Amino acid sequence: MRPDGLGRLPSPALRKRVKARVRRVLRWGRRRLHRALDRPPQWSTRSGAASFGADGRWRLDAPSVSEARDAADRLGPATSATGVELTIAQWHAPVSGWSGRLGPVRALVSHSVRLPPDGVGPATVAVEVAEPAPVQALVAAALAALEPARLLPAGLTAEVAIDGDPPPWLGAVTRASTGEAPTPPPDVRLAPRMPAGGDPAHSPEQPAPAAVTSRYGLLVDDAPRVLLDISRDNPIGRASMGHDLPAGTLRLASPPGGEVIWRVTAARDEARVLVEGRAGDPLTEAQRAALARLGMLHHVPDGCEALPHAAVLAQLCTTGVVVRAPDLPPQTAALLSPELAGIITSPAPDAATDPVQWEISSIAQRRAAMRGHDAALVRTPATLATGLPTVTAVVVSRRPHYVPRVLEYLAAQTYPRLEVVLAMHGVDLDAPAQAAVDSLTLPVQTLALPADLNLGQALAEATLLARGSLLTKVDDDDRYGPEHVWDLVLARRYSGATLVGKIAEFVHLATHEVTVRRRMTSEIYTTTVAGGTILISRGDLEDLGGWRPVPRSVDRALLDRVRRANGLIYQTHGFGYIYTRHGEGHTWDPGVAYFLTDPVGKWPGLPPYAEFEARTDGVSARA
């Protein structure tokens, strides 16, 4: 009895259930209020104000980093200045406390960076040089202090040589290309062919053009390729997905002047513009933010030319908003990757669709758009790409009985350049594990490590055998869907982060034979990811000092090293990875009740979705 005689206290179990119900009701109320107040606003466009000063410096006040870059691109490579001063009115640090570093500048005299103390607000970067330099180069160096930018490791880069200004999707220009070019259509630039051992700028004869670039992509051998820059066209910031988000109608138009404009209007109010832009231009932060608050776009064909039409569809698909175009003209569909064309012409999900399937539709669509159309990933006869970087999956195991299953997950990966390093830590491979190794179709190396090495030392030894430019840590007891490695490589490409991974959003509790989904966000810069999903370049790992030689918290130690070095950590979506709790010596053990308390979803066994299966009947990127 209670001392005041008012009866017994509720049991701990009852109090727990009441608290969980109150939390659910409060969350439901917050979501309803958020949906009611967070309607997509009427669209408005803003532009920066630029000018040259008497001192020869170029000054720009712009709303965002994207607008600043676009303003510099419009000047062209021939415009020079003795310095630049950029003021970004609405700068947001990727994570609290982050700051970048100035890019390389020739003949640098001085530079200054002023950032808001709390990471949100006006930011200014100024650069002064001793002799005039191209404004584009100075702006690129200055913007490196305000945003992340990391290239995928490659022996050669996916760049083409061009005459004139580079199109928006193209990065730095390389003076080399091969092949013969077709007759250029309007709004294109010729890419010169470099003779063996020579430079086209000093060649005695004008070389035949090898390729044609336009605002929308590359034309090689009469075959247009739609290309994008997913460092700017991507799903960063998309926090939610589902039928309860607003829908929009997508149309394209060609006003006087010939430029193709795309416009999204409210599905129930055609006069209300939600977001718009010019075909061929990379997305700005404001455009991405507006698209992130929409659930679906219904496309209405309007007779637009096929090339800009396909470019707009591919670009919008990268953001995560579900795009459906059931009446897509064949000429436009032919310019999209087969995977992407198949997705956007399929039936649209509706209010009765499983909410998880909504998310899977979004993920599959943006994955197809990025790997099928990113300028740094697509190989063409006129690019210098050697292909995707090789990824080494590093597995350190003390449990031979888990080896066949984890090798099955790795063998099912659709990423085309994957190898495996399997380190047995203090134990030998048993017969089933050895058979799994022998039958693996991927390149695999095995090594035996003594039991007295700690986990960090074991990972370091296994990493010495890695031949890939990128490394991903794979835990032997977790589950991986077939697109897992592709998701990590894409996330590194568009986030610019030093380290990328997924969060333990889906957790399989082996003792209860149930999988729960925890309440998590995704597509954000963060401070932690699941250790069994870490992807980092070998060069970055070595620069950070490698794996810390400790028996526990090896993953946390690496994440801390990245943050201390002012690197970024990016968390992509959680699909395709299931964190397993089996009760066999976890280094982090909050108890099973921690995972069972108020999950977002729960399934007996494993979730019934192909994203989590070791085998898939979908389009394989390995082909």
Q: Return the structure tokens found at 296.
A: 């679906």
Contact 281, 292 (CB under 8 A): no
Q: Please determine, for residue 533, whether its predicted confidence score (pLDDT) is greater than 70.
A: yes
Indicate the SS3 state at residue 273.
strand
Nearest to 596 by CA among 508, 516, 539, 527: 516
Proportion of the chain in helix, strand, coil states, percent, rounded to 5: 25, 25, 50
d(CA 123, CA 114): 6
d(CA 196, CA 373): 30
Nearest to 98 by CA among 569, 540, 537: 569
* Position with higher pLDDT, 276 vs 167: 276
Q: Please determine, for residue 132, whether its predicted confidence score (pLDDT) is greater than 50.
A: yes
Residue 5's pLDDT is 52
Where do we find the tokens 């430019």? 469
Residue 530's pLDDT is 95
Q: Which of 189-193, 316-320, 611-615 has the lowest mean pLDDT?
A: 189-193
Task: Tell me the range of 25-34, 65-74, 438-447 where mean pLDDT is highest.
Answer: 438-447
Indicate the SS3 state at residue 109.
strand
Q: What residue type is 62 in one-letter code?
A: A
Residue 581's pLDDT is 84
What angle do helix axes 306-317 and 355-373 make, rounded to 10 degrees? 130
Residue 615's pLDDT is 58
Q: Please determine, for residue 194, whether its predicted confidence score (pLDDT) is greater than 60.
A: no
Q: Which residues contact 129 (CB under 8 A, 6 or more apart)?
A: 82, 83, 105, 106, 107, 108, 109, 138
pLDDT-based confidence at residue 13 (cuts at 50, 70, 90): low
Nearest to 107 by CA among 125, 128, 86: 128
Burial of 303 (0-12, 13-18, 19+ CB in 10 A): exposed
d(CA 457, CA 476): 17
pLDDT in tens, 141-188: 999 999 987 777 876 655 565 666 667 766 544 433 344 444 555 555
Indicate the SS3 state at residue 444.
strand
d(CA 304, CA 237): 30
Rg of the chain over all Cα atoms, to the nearest angstrom: 26
Cβ neighbour number for residue 198 with a 10 Å cutoff? 12
Burial of 124 (0-12, 13-18, 19+ CB in 10 A): middle
pLDDT in tens, 451-473: 999 999 999 999 999 999 999 99
d(CA 578, CA 593): 18
Indicate the SS3 state at residue 87.
strand
pLDDT in tens, 385-399: 456 899 999 999 999
Mean predicted lDDT score pLDDT of the chain: 83
**How much is the average pLDDT of 601-615?**
88
Q: What residue type is 365 in one-letter code?
A: Q
User: What percentage of the chain carries pLDDT values higher than 70?
Assistant: 78
Residue 149's pLDDT is 77
Cβ neighbour number for residue 336 with a 10 Å cutoff? 27
